[in-house]
Structure formats: C-alpha cells, structure tokens
Amino acid sequence: MTERLTEIRKTLHKKLKKERYEHTIGVMYTASSLAMCYGTDVQKALTAGLLHDCGKYCPMKEQIKLCEKHGISLTESELDMPALIHAKLGAYLAEYEYGIKDQAVLDAVRYHTTGRPGMTMLEKIIYIADYIEPNRKEIPGLGEIRGVVFQDIDRAVYLSAQRTVQYLTDGGKPADPMTVSTYKYYEK
C-alpha cells in the first residue's frame, strides 16, 4: 500500500463511524483480491475500495447541502432516495479532497451503489466487493454470490442487482432508474 493510501486510511479512520470504517477496510481488501483474480490493477482497487463510502462521513441532510455547495447536480430520484447521494458526493471528495486524479477510480466510487450498464472491471469489482465484504451482515443469497464471484463476476453483479431490486420492492421503496438498468443489462 502506498504512503498516500495509508494517509487516506488514517483520515477515514477519524471521519467514519467505527462500523463504516470496518466495512471500508473489508471492501478495500475484497476489491484487491478480486483485482488479483481478474488481472486488473490492485492499487486502483485498493484506492477505490478505501474511498467508496467517503461521502458517508456526515448525515444525509448535510450530504445534500455539500452537493449544493459544490455544484454537484442531483437527479430527482437521488433527492427522493438520499441513500444514493454519498456515491456522487464521494466521487467529488475523492477528487478534490483526497487528490485522486484517476477517472477510472472516481467512476468506480460514483457508480458503486447503483452500478451502471457496461461497467468496467474496476467498477464491477467495487460494486460487488461492497456487497460481499466479510463484515456484511448475512443477507439472503449472499452465500451464492460469494460462491460465484471469483468464477463469474458478471453473474455475481446480476445476482446482486437482482437482490437489491427485490429488497427495495419488498420494502415498498422505488429502485433508482440506474439500478434497474444495471439489473436489466446484467440479466443478459
């Protein structure tokens, strides 16, 4: 791990709640294992994994205010479902507060919650590492996803998007249009 990553890690340790920080470290190492498995850049996976939830350092209302302050435009759907906002805000903070210049890493942070059709390998890795990291509480189907992810990451992305849509529908919450597009794209 580079010195810069160690510094960012220390900052996040201070800024994030304990459980969020533990989750972050779980995502970081899970992402690096997936990068090894799929032959992609391990440093980028560590960086994106470490920063993926950096937008969650403050409550949702404050996240919305920060977006207004920094001119980050939010869709109607995001304003309706503020749980999505930390991804966009996180990509902004990763760039301007943590100094990450690599667009591939910034996009992996930005799309980690909803996914998107045609994700890069790094984007898929962060999307799925967020779901399967060891500290995640048992959710139905988690074992199946963990079982396939090192053989077939697209299938793991599909199963995870399906579970998310199902979970939201069951809870009477709308799924973001991007979440639905991700699900449909990986269904094929």
- Residues near ligand DGI (CB under 6 A) are 23, 53, 81, 83-84, 112-114, 130, 164, 168, 173-176, 179
Give the one entry of Fe ion, ligand DGI, none that residue 176 binds, where binding means its C-beta sits below a cut-off of 5 to 8 angstroms depending on kind: ligand DGI
The least distance separating Fe ion from the CB of residue 38, rounded to whole angstroms, comes to 20
Cα–Cα dist 165/132, whole Å: 16
Nearer to Fe ion, 44 or 112 (CB): 112
Phi-psi region for residue 136, left (φ > 0), alpha (ψ -120 to 50) or beta?
Answer: beta
Cα–Cα dist 52/57, whole Å: 11
The least distance separating ligand DGI from the CB of residue 5, rounded to whole angstroms, comes to 19
What are 91-96's contacts with CB under 8 Å, separation 24+?
A: 91/55, 92/55, 92/67, 93/51, 93/54, 93/55, 94/51, 94/54, 96/70
Nearer to Fe ion, 44 or 115 (CB): 115
The least distance separating Fe ion from the CB of residue 24, rounded to whole angstroms, comes to 7
Nearer to ligand DGI, 4 or 173 (CB): 173
114 within 8 A of 161, measured Cβ to Cβ: no
The least distance separating Fe ion from the CB of residue 111, rounded to whole angstroms, comes to 11
Nearer to ligand DGI, 143 or 174 (CB): 174
Helix H or strand E encompassing 61 = helix 60-69
Nearer to ligand DGI, 21 or 38 (CB): 21
The least distance separating Fe ion from the CB of residue 102, rounded to whole angstroms, comes to 19
24 within 8 A of 56, measured Cβ to Cβ: no
Give the one entry of Fe ion, ligand DGI, none that residue 182 binds, where binding means its C-beta sits below a cut-off of 5 to 8 angstroms depending on kind: none
- For the chain, the straight-line distance linking the first and the last C-alpha, in angstroms and rounded, comes to 37
Give the one entry of Fe ion, ligand DGI, none that residue 83 binds, where binding means its C-beta sits below a cut-off of 5 to 8 angstroms depending on kind: ligand DGI
